Amino acid sequence: MTQEEPRRQLASVSPPACFCCPSVSTIVSSVTTILLFCFVFVSSIPSASLAFSNNLPVHTLLLCRHGDSVWNGGQPGCEERFTGWTDVELSQQGCQEAMEAAAQLASYFYDIDCIFTSMLQRALDTTDACLTALGNNQKELPPVICDYRLAERHYGALQGLVKKDVEEGNSVFGYCPDLVEKWRRSWHTQPPTLDDNDERRIMEVDRLAEICGGAHNVPKGESLAMVAQNRVRPFLNEVVTPALNLAAKLKSQLSQKNVEEELTAGLVVAHANSLRALIGCLCEVEDDPVALGILESLRIPTGVPLVIHYQQLPNGRFRACPLPEPDECLIQDNWGYFNKPKEAPPNLGHPNLPVWPLDTCIPLEERTRADFFSAFANAAEDTYSRR
């Protein structure tokens, strides 16, 4: 095979030009285009998983919650509200956070092979900033896949309400504060749902039914478990993992290396709870009470990129791979928001939930791809065998 053939294969699954330009807002100007593209992209990827026998590819996902929005409490004069699927914009602080996150993501040692983003404006604007930064660092911009399945958890009847009023048991709403906490943090507890005749429900269906493939896919209120089962896990199975498998395959054809030695990286720009659901799927938290407890307490800050490595097993389940040891990874001393590594809060970097801020683990350039793969695979095997 000539070197040009893999490039032609990649071009055949790359999105139209509008998906690679530094303005994701243009992408959503036509919901039909988005749905058509996602269908064509996924159907062009081989449905069967690549046969690696015991050598499974290790994929990297860079996770970035959008910058602060006008309903996240960072905008002067705006109160923090339950946002969910309400399509609000970034605040001024959020725009700055998006640019800072983009600069950090663009400095990642390996090229980003694909970007996956929610269709909500605050995520699209953050993706815009990432594309602009990546355009200065990568030879080619990665394809962008925009999908409703990465949207925030739907907060049902809580959407639009001021968080402080609801959490404090304000008599206007009458919700028990302990129950509100469960709605926010618990994996299984579902918030009160929207009625079909609620004006918020009617407006959402009218605006989003087509982009979601039907009104039945527009939720009325979701627990984290529902987000994981109904949206995120299918998206990982049908889009993310096949796309990264294909990227590894095409890279191996160019480099003449084994496909499992090729490191691939995807960027997911989404929301606090859709990212928590994604982490939950990759760590299979429903089978691990320790990991589930940590995930339920996990608070993902706006505009701070995280990193997680994972494999998909032959049975379709996932396992998260531990980060490399310090001699394979530059652990920085200045953690800022997250303190120092030895003082890391229990919900970040725990062995059962191995997700870390990106700026604390930067691959050393002198390490080879094979070294990284070996380190990840061996550590993952050790961790998995102990469960």
Q: What is the CATH number of the domain that holds 233?
A: 3.40.50
Which residue is listed with tokens 């990982």?
236
174-204: per-residue pLDDT in tens? Answer: 788 889 999 999 999 999 999 999 999 999 9
Average pLDDT, the chain: 78
* Residue 184 is labelled as binding a ligand: yes
**Across residues 335-345, what is the average pLDDT?**
38
Is 90 exceeded by the pLDDT of residue 245?
Answer: yes
| 273 lies in some domain | yes
Residue 51 lies in a domain: no
* pLDDT given at position 257: 72
State mean pLDDT over 377-386. Answer: 52
User: What is the pLDDT, as a whole number, of residue 378?
Assistant: 57
- Mean pLDDT, residues 82-92: 96
For 192, residues 6+ apart whose C-beta sits below 8 A from its C-beta are: 156, 157, 158, 221
Say if 192 falls within a structural domain: no
Q: So which residues are the catalytic ones? A: 66, 152
Report which of 150, 101, 114 is spatially closest to residue 303, judged by C-alpha positions. 101
Is residue 356 pLDDT above 90, yes or no?
A: no
Distance CA 97, CA 81 (A): 19
Predicted local distance difference test score (pLDDT) of residue 7: 32
Confidence (pLDDT) at 363:
53
Please give the average per-residue pLDDT across 342-346, as a whole number: 41
Q: Has residue 139 been placed in a domain?
A: yes
More confident residue, 47 or 213: 213
User: Angle, nearest 10°, between helix axes 241-255 and 4-13?
Assistant: 160
Residue 158 lies in a domain: no
The residue among 315 and 15 whose pLDDT is bigger is: 315
Whole-number Å distance between alpha carbons of 318 and 236? 10
223, 189 in Cβ contact below 8 A?
Answer: yes
User: How many structural domains compose the chain?
Assistant: 1
- Predicted confidence at residue 374, as pLDDT, reads 53
The amino acid at residue 338 is: F
Looking at the predicted structure, is the pLDDT value of residue 114 above 60? yes
Residue 299 among known ligand-binding residues: no
104: which 2 tokens? 């950090």
pLDDT of res. 53 = 34
Calpha distance 175→165 (Å, rounded)? 10
Q: Is 160 left (phi over 0), alpha (psi -120 to 50) or beta?
A: left
Assigned domain for 274 exists:
yes
In 3D, which of 187, 278, 280, 292 has the Cα closest to residue 235? 278
What is the C-alpha separation between 288 and 243, in angstroms, rounded? 28
Average pLDDT, integer, range 8-15: 34
Q: Which of 2-6, 208-212, 232-236 is predicted least confidently?
A: 2-6
The answer as to whether 207 is a domain residue is: no
Residue 43 has pLDDT above 70, yes or no: no
What pTM was estimated for this model as a whole? Answer: 0.79
214 labelled ligand-binding: no
Residue 10: which pLDDT band, with cuts at 50, 70 and 90? very low
Concatenated DSSP letters for 242-288?
HHHHHHHHHHHHHHTS-GGG--EEEEEEE-HHHHHHHHHHHTTGGG-
Mean pLDDT of the 340-346 span: 40
Q: Are strands 144-146 and 114-117 parallel, antiparallel or unpaired?
A: parallel
**Per-residue confidence (pLDDT) for residue 261, from 0 to 100:** 67
Higher pLDDT, 88 or 254: 88
Task: Establish whether 185 is an annotated binding residue.
Answer: yes
Query: Nearest to residue 337, comparing CAs of 97, 36, 131, 108?
Result: 97
Among 5-14, 54-63, 327-336, where is mean pLDDT lowest? Answer: 5-14
Identity of the residue numbered 360: T
State how far the Cα of 120 lies from the Cα of 235, in Å rounded to an integer.
16
Residue-level pLDDT at 174: 77
Q: What is the mean pLDDT of residues 202-231?
A: 97
Give the per-residue pLDDT at 334. 34
Say if residue 21's pLDDT is above 90: no
pLDDT, tens digit, for every residue of 306-330? 999 999 999 999 999 876 554 444 4
Q: How far is CA 371 from CA 351, 383, 386, in A?
A: 21, 18, 23
Q: Read out DSSP for 21-38?
A: SS-HHHHTT-HHHHHHHH
Q: Is 200 annotated as a binding residue?
A: no
pLDDT at 358: 84
Give the number of other CB atoms < 10 A from CB of residue 170. 14
Query: Does 122 belong to an annotated binding site?
Result: yes
Given a cut of 50, whether residue 241 has pLDDT beyond it is yes
Q: Which of 104-113, 223-232, 319-328 has the lowest mean pLDDT?
A: 319-328
The pLDDT value recorded for residue 8 is: 32
As a whole number, mean pLDDT of residues 136-158 equals 93
- Residue 77 belongs to a domain: no
Domain ranges, residue 359? 8-38+57-67+94-148+222-386
- 149 appears as a binding residue in the annotation: no
pLDDT, mean of residues 277-293: 96
Could you tell me if 227 and 191 are in contact, meaning their C-beta atoms sit under 8 angstroms apart? Answer: no
Query: Would you place residue 139 in the very low, low, confident or very high pLDDT band (cuts 50, 70, 90)?
Result: confident
71 is in an annotated binding site: yes
